[in-house]
Each structure stands twice: as structure tokens, then as C-alpha cells.
Chains A and B, each alone.
Chain A
């Protein structure tokens, strides 16, 4: 009856080139700015040139009179619409009302004040210059520590202390830990503001269909479903009249894990004008108005015994929030707190966060979101402790690691680490660099006056976000698997990939589970009308949560396929493998495609069985996953110029089981590039007036091809018990592991000059000054 499809090997675990690539390498993919709708208007946003000012008046007459201008919208037009949403809640959190457009005051450079809509983008930009806004500039403050000082300008006049919230968490007995300690090391460590800089800026096309009272919103986002719910709320419209499409998304790194004013504004404008309208963010706007990341000033104290046993860790964390809360702004530093012990058995912790308003664009989730800051802190502190104790930093780490037999491991911060063998990647990295030999080489180099450094970080992270109770938004994920009547398989996933390659890795899982050819599988995402509800792509959750939902949907589907197959074979015991349902006793079989055809034809239905072959599964994860790894960096610092040469970069990452090693490599490389960007080059610099001095790509140094070292990437594999795929997540690991390894290496290089800590970015100027004996 059927021919058997032979599938000698699995697809999972193979370096399979991506199925999303043909459209991307031929220029035929559709990003938001590629969407063109007849009658479409273009919007340009008038933004504040001041970080703090009163708006005394606004005159849009000249703009309105400009040929081609359809409308100008100002704060008065939208004052009754809902605010830009903050999804995070903390006790006592002060939440400023975040209007879609400024009302009588602006709070940060680039604050949107008005929207000009015209028939083409050139006219819209011309006319935006004709909008006259009468500002009365006010004193601004953009530095979080200065904002906390008495007499600092108040960002929001109603809260003169500039404090949005304070948050305390402790675990164990911190007082006892510090009493028992032989040694306490202290350090102020900053994690500077960064600009995410996705290569595609944000953009929105809103298309109102008045007959249906339905709106389609194309937007470059990581969270189409959440965005739909929240934008419907802002506009006061029925959610089921709003369709959100995330078309091809050109990078995000957390910056599009948000709901921005422009998304609701364009929706509103399209409805008001009864025309489609497009807004594409300029790079300048992207730097001024899309969220920034990090923005920490951290004060650490680490208590330990003379033998290196870590006892307790204290943290005072000052979080630069910016002027408003975007979707997750105040929640991000709490992630730093829960990850502050890193991979170590540090039984007592105490943390205090002060969330500070500044006249700057809000901070929010940027690749790693709170965990890079925490990892940078603990990994710097471990090195500072090692220096204090004159211990080898690798030895100190090995001494304090949570041990393999101790999992699941309850941390002092309330987490349960799922699985790990923390020594394994460190040992692998040490072997790879031939650590003892390398230290000898370093000692020889030092004898010759060279500044050679060896640095490491052993990082842990929290991924697969996550259990719903632990997140400000839901943490589950959904998947639907449809077998079409011809036996082809369509997957609808609630995640919203934008470069992570799940159209491929998910197809690999489907291919193995159903025994179908990978070319018979299509994975669709990013359209709220097409896909059942979902949460989206962030927090290294695409595969670990979305892929797991898919796995469970496939199990339900397989049960259904077997039910149909058994009925067709008049059997009560069939197996499903290699795309064939078989009765082993009779030797009869029926192919997957034949079963699909029968299921839709509906005339041979098994008793009590619905026609069709569709399964949907919503998976709620029982825990986060906790990937880990070791990065090791060998540097040489040029005495004359302060330039840092990275001689070797070794990344050993453990992300659990690997579905597609090619994609995992890409995630590691890209993550390391962003970590290296923070360590060496990138910093969002606001001056005392709240002007962004690094407001363009000319002044904000993201890595170029020739900046990057060759990354020697390898893995250890410790499957996660949290999900049946055994996967942990790899999207953020490179970024989290990188920056402390680089800084530890450079501090090691300069340690002979008495240098103990350097704040990022390690620019040649900063390093040169240190070499000259000055302050960084």
C-alpha cells in the first residue's frame, strides 16, 4: 500500500543551512519599509531638541499649508489615548504618565512632540521643519548618580528625589557572612549605557479598513501578539479588530521587545485620516528614541575566607531608567539581582536597587538584559578577590563552583539552577590555551616589559523565559502543527524569530518527529491573524520554550496520526516512523500522506475522532534554564598607544543539546561581538544638558569586521531537565560571557602597574592614561 521513506539519520544535531536564507540573499524578503500600500502617506516626527523643557506654544500652520501635507498631530490630539504601557510592576513603583506625544513638557532629547503626515517622505520631512515649537529649556540631568544628589534637577517635578523605586532582596545571613569573613573586597563597577543598534531601525505601516473597522499594523517587533493586545488597549479598540504583522525583522536584540508610542500613533493616524500611513525611524531617531540598554552603577562587596571560600555578596545597584518606563524598564535590574551569585556557592546575598529617573531615553532589555551586568559584576569581583588573595583566578573559580551532584541547586536569590557541570567548560578552555604554559609565557613577556593579559569569565545565565509567574508578561509559548491534506506540514509558532533561524531548527524537529522530509515543512510566524496567541522571541526562549511547545504539539499530532493509521490498517498496534504508520505483525503500512488525505476526506474516520490533522499546544515551562560556559581572552596592550590586541578569544559554551550547530555558532559569534562592543568601544554618552554626544554611527562605535578577533568556539553539553529537548538557549550567552573575560584580561595585563579595575569601554585613551600613571 505504501512505500517506506528511509531516513537513516536524524536532522536534529546537523549543520543544516537555513531555510530562511534564499529570500534574504536575493533581496526578496519584505521588511516594514518594503511594504507599500496604494494611497499610503508618510509620517515624520517632530522631536524635542532639549532634554528638559516646557512647551510654551506650538504653531503648525506653516506645515499644514505646505503642499502635500495631509495633517499635523500634536499632543492635544492624542491626550485621551492610553499611555505607552509599562508591563513591569514593583512595590511602590512610580509610573509617570507616558503620553504618545509630549503635552506641556518634554523629558528627554528626541521626545516626540508632533507628527507631520504628507504624501511622500521628503515632503513630510520638509514640513516637520516648519512646525514651530516654543520651548523654555529647563535644567536637565542625565547621570543617575548626579540625579540622586540633593538639589539635582527633578526629571518629573512631582518626584523631586528622582527615585522611581527602591527594591531590596536578601538571602542567607549576610551579616553573619561578613562577620565570618577573613577578607572583604569592594569595588564600584559600571555597566555603561549601550545603544542596541539593530541594522534595521524601527518602522511602522498602519492600514485602516474603515468598512470592517479593522486595522493592520506592520511593525518591526519581537512580540506581535503582546503588542496587539497592548496597542488595542492604548487605542481603546477591540483587540480582534487589530492585526499585527511582524514581517522580516532586521535585528532587534531586545530593542523591539517593546511597545512604542509610534506604533500606537501610526495606528491612530491611519484611522483618523482613513489612509495607510508609514513611519520609518531614521538612524538618528533610533539612537535618540529607541530604548538603550544597561546603565548601571554597581557597588559590590564580596566576603570570603582566606582559602578563597566565598561567603557573601552585597550589591548596591543604581539603575539609570531614563525619563519613562518602557515595557520592562524597571524589571531589568531585578534580573541582575537574581543572577548576582553567578555559578558560585555564595550562600548569603543582599541587594538594594535604586531606580533613578534621568532626562534620557528609557533603558530596557538589551541582549542579556540584566544578566550581563550581573555577570560582569561577579566575574570582576572574583578576579579582584583572587588578586587580593594572590590566588589563581581559575583555581578560585573551581573552588567555589556549584558541583554537578548538587543540582537542582537552590540559590540564595531564590532560583533553582537546573543542571550543570561548571568546571567542564573552564577546564576545556584552560586546556585549549595550555594555561600553565601560557602563564609562563606571560611571566617571560612581563620580564621583557610587555603588557600581556590572560582573563577568563565563567558565566551563568537565566534563559527560556520563563515560568509565567516569574515574568511581567506570560512566559509560556504556543505552537500549532497542521498536516495538510497532501501530507505537507505547516507549523505556526507564537515566537517571532528575526534572525535566530527557527524556520530551520523547528523544521529539523518536525522532520525527526514525523519522519517527513524537511522540505515538506514550512514554519510560519509573526502574524496575529495567522498564528494562535504567543509571547514572542526574547530571553533566549525561541527554541527552549517555543520549540518545546512545538515538540508537545507534535506528540499530540503523532497520537492522532497513529489513530488514523491504525484504523486504516484495521490494527490496534501501529508504530510511526520514517513517515510511515506500520502494523509490525501484519507488515502492512500506510504512509503519512495517505493518512493525511484520509483525515481530511473524512470518510474513514476512526470512532470518536474529528476529521483533520491539527494539534495545538501551549506549554508553560516549570522553570528557567541555566546555560553556562567559560570564555578566555589573551590580550596584549600597547604601551605607547593603549591599544588592545586580542591574541586569542576562546568561547566554551554549554547550552544543553544543540539542534543546529551552524546556527549556534552564529549566535555565539554575534553575542561575543556585542559583548566585545561593550567591553572595548561602545558607550552612549549624554552631556550634562542631556544631549547625546554619541548620537550617530559616526560617534558610536559598533564593531566592524576588522575589529573582531577570530572566535574559537566549542561546547560542552549538559542537557536541561526542564524541557524534553534538553535545550537551554544560546542567544545571549556570548554577550554575557564576553565583557568580563575581556576586562579581566586587560586588568591582568595592567596589574603589574597596580591597576585593579577599569570601567568599560576600554578605549585606548583610557588605557593610555592608566599606563601613564593617571586615572582612567
Chain B
């Protein structure tokens, strides 16, 4: 009972026959082969699987691949254009906004939407904007610094 879906991921079009129950995160990781987004909980709490769907941050572990049919997806692999890092990636690197790195792809993409909605956030706005993404390593302080620095750099 597979269904045919066509979607664009990081600017490239993909067409596949998938089971209706296949989660978007498994489609991206297992079929398309982009392993930047991670699976941390499968309950949409941790945010490690966050991707941008038509520009909005979504948790790809609680969405079916068929729901993304006809839509635009961006994963962390699509963020750096022409080999040039996005200002958010630069800022996470400069500010030591990551340690083990597992939450980082989701954290950066959530921050991407946060800054798109609010280019000049306060620290409290940054913290609330990231509350759907868990990090167990950093205590978030360097992440907040990174998002603030990226905002300053005009990300």
C-alpha cells in the first residue's frame, strides 16, 4: 500500500514510493540518506530531528513522510550554501555552542526560524524560542551567546 511522494529537500527533488506510516525523519535519514537530523526521543520533545518545512521548524519524528508530499524541506546539510557556512553555523562554532553535537542540527534550524521571526531577540526570547530543543551538554549559555552573535551578524 505504498504511496508515491515528491518533495524537495535542500533544493533537490526526490520522488519515492513510501509506506504511509513511514516517519519523515526515517525517510530523510534512511531513504534520502541525509543523516544530519537525528532521532533523540520520537516523541517530539527533544527536537534533535528538527528540519525546516516550507521554512518553518518542525520535528520530523512526529510527522509522516506522506505529509511532506509536495513541500520544501531543509535539513542542516542544506544550510551552508556553496560551502559557505550560515552565520548561525559560524556563531555556534565561534561561541562553542555545542559539545557532543547531537542536538546541534536541530538547535541551529530552530534558531534559524527564531531569527527569521525575530531578528533582534532578547536573551529571554532566545531561551523561550529554543525551549523545544533539548541539549544535555552545554547548559544552553553558549547556545544563547551563539544565537545572539548570529543575530548581530545579521543571520
User: CB-CB contacts of A660-671 with B at 8 A, as 1s and 0s?
Assistant: 001101100111
Which residues of chain A (114-166) have a CB below 8 Å from chain B? 121-122
Pair B93/A705 contact, Cβ less than 8 Å:
no
Does chain B have a CB within 8 A of A249? yes
Complex Cα–Cα for A435 and B123 (A): 27
Complex Cα–Cα for A698 and B123 (A): 25
Whole-angstrom distance between the Cβ of B119 and the nearest chain A Cβ: 19
Whole-angstrom distance between the Cβ of B144 and the nearest chain A Cβ: 7
Pair B93/A698 contact, Cβ less than 8 Å:
no
Pair B131/A666 contact, Cβ less than 8 Å:
no
> Which residue of chain B has its CB nearest to the CB of A668?
B139
Whole-angstrom distance between the Cβ of A742 and the nearest chain B Cβ: 14
> Which residue of chain B has its CB nearest to the CB of A30?
B35
Whole-angstrom distance between the Cβ of A671 and the nearest chain B Cβ: 8
Complex Cα–Cα for A18 and B39 (A): 24
Whole-angstrom distance between the Cβ of A420 and the nearest chain B Cβ: 25
Whole-angstrom distance between the Cβ of A124 and the nearest chain B Cβ: 13
Does chain A have a CB within 8 A of B68? no
Partner of A26, one of B77, B123, B127, B138: B77
Given the interface pairs A27-B75, A283-B42, A666-B96, the reply to whether A200 lies near B131 with Cβ below 8 Å is no
Whole-angstrom distance between the Cβ of A279 and the nearest chain B Cβ: 13
Q: Which residues of B contact A697 (CB under 8 A)?
A: 41, 43, 45-46, 134
Pair B37/A27 contact, Cβ less than 8 Å:
yes
Whole-angstrom distance between the Cβ of B1 and the nearest chain A Cβ: 13
Partner of A666, one of B48, B99, B126: B99
Partner of B128, one of A30, A671, A706: A706
Given the interface pairs A250-B102, A706-B127, the reply to whether A665 lies near B34 with Cβ below 8 Å is no
Which residues of chain A (669-687) have a CB below 8 Å from chain B? 669-674
Complex Cα–Cα for A33 and B22 (A): 17
User: CB-CB contacts of B76-105 with A at 8 A, as 1s and 0s?
Assistant: 110110000100010011101011111111
Q: Which residues of B contact A252 (CB under 8 A)?
A: 100
Complex Cα–Cα for A17 and B145 (A): 14
User: CB-CB contacts of B123-141 with A at 8 A, as 1s and 0s?
Assistant: 1101110110111111111
Does chain A have a CB within 8 A of B143? yes
Does chain B have a CB within 8 A of A388? no
Chain B binding surface, main DSSP class: loop
> Which residue of chain A has its CB nearest to the CB of B133?
A705
Q: Which residues of A contact B21 (CB under 8 A)?
A: 122
Pair A34/B35 contact, Cβ less than 8 Å:
yes
Q: Which residues of A contact B46 (CB under 8 A)?
A: 199, 283, 697
Does chain B have a CB within 8 A of A630? no
Q: Which residues of B contact A192 (CB under 8 A)?
A: none
Complex Cα–Cα for A122 and B25 (A): 13
Interface size on B (CB < 8 Å)? 58
Q: Which residues of B contact A516 (CB under 8 A)?
A: none
Pair B131/A706 contact, Cβ less than 8 Å:
yes
> Which residue of chain B has its CB nearest to the CB of A672?
B139
User: CB-CB contacts of A13-41 with B at 8 A, as 1s and 0s?
Assistant: 00001101111111111110110100000
Partner of B38, one of A200, A249, A666: A200
Given the interface pairs A199-B102, A665-B142, the reply to whether A18 lies near B126 with Cβ below 8 Å is no
Partner of B140, one of A26, A121, A280, A708: A708
Does chain B have a CB within 8 A of A582? no
Q: Which residues of B contact A272 (CB under 8 A)?
A: none
Which residues of chain B (49-92) have a CB below 8 Å from chain A? 75-77, 79-80, 85, 89, 92
Pair B99/A33 contact, Cβ less than 8 Å:
no
> Which residue of chain B has its CB nearest to the CB of A27?
B36
Selecting from A210-218, A467-475, A498-506, the interface stretch reads A498-506
Does chain B have a CB within 8 A of A696? yes
Complex Cα–Cα for A706 and B40 (A): 20
Does chain A have a CB within 8 A of B9? no
Chain A binding surface, main DSSP class: loop
Q: Which of the listed residues A18, A703, A704 has the most CB atoms from chain B within 10 Å of its own CB?
A: A704
Q: Which residues of A contact B115 (CB under 8 A)?
A: none
Whole-angstrom distance between the Cβ of B121 and the nearest chain A Cβ: 12
Q: Which of the listed residues A249, A666, A734 has the most CB atoms from chain B within 10 Å of its own CB?
A: A666
Q: Which of the listed residues B30, B43, B137 has the most CB atoms from chain A within 10 Å of its own CB?
A: B137
Pair B98/A21 contact, Cβ less than 8 Å:
yes
Q: Which residues of B contact A499 (CB under 8 A)?
A: 99-101, 137
Q: Which residues of B contact A293 (CB under 8 A)?
A: none
Partner of A253, one of B36, B136, B141: B136
Pair B45/A251 contact, Cβ less than 8 Å:
no
Partner of A665, one of B77, B89, B96: B96
Complex Cα–Cα for A283 and B142 (A): 26
Does chain B have a CB within 8 A of A282? yes
Complex Cα–Cα for A624 and B45 (A): 39
Q: Which residues of B contact A58 (CB under 8 A)?
A: none
Does chain B have a CB within 8 A of A710? yes
Pair B140/A201 contact, Cβ less than 8 Å:
no
Q: Which residues of A contact B124 (CB under 8 A)?
A: 706
Whole-angstrom distance between the Cβ of B3 and the nearest chain A Cβ: 15
Complex Cα–Cα for A250 and B107 (A): 14
Q: Which residues of A contact B137 (CB under 8 A)?
A: 199, 251, 499, 666, 670
Partner of B139, one of A24, A200, A249, A669: A669
Pair B103/A669 contact, Cβ less than 8 Å:
no
Pair A704/B134 contact, Cβ less than 8 Å:
yes
Q: Which residues of B contact A501 (CB under 8 A)?
A: 99
Pair A24/B38 contact, Cβ less than 8 Å:
no
Partner of B93, one of A25, A31, A665: A25
Whole-angstrom distance between the Cβ of A614 and the nearest chain B Cβ: 30
Which residues of chain A (488-526) have a CB below 8 Å from chain B? 498-501
Does chain A have a CB within 8 A of B24? no
Complex Cα–Cα for A28 and B131 (A): 25
A24-B104, A499-B101, A674-B136 are known; give 6 further A-B pairs, CB within 8 A: A17-B93, A17-B96, A199-B136, A665-B141, A705-B126, A706-B127
Interface set of B (CB-CB < 8 Å, partner A): 19, 21-22, 26, 29-30, 34-43, 45-46, 48, 75-77, 79-80, 85, 89, 92-94, 96, 98-105, 108, 123-124, 126-128, 130-131, 133-144
A-B contact pairs, 8 of them (CB 8 A): A17-B94, A283-B43, A283-B46, A499-B99, A673-B136, A705-B126, A705-B135, A706-B127
Interface set of A (CB-CB < 8 Å, partner B): 17-18, 20-31, 33-34, 36, 121-122, 197-201, 248-253, 280, 282-283, 498-501, 662-663, 665-666, 669-674, 696-698, 702-706, 708, 710-711, 734
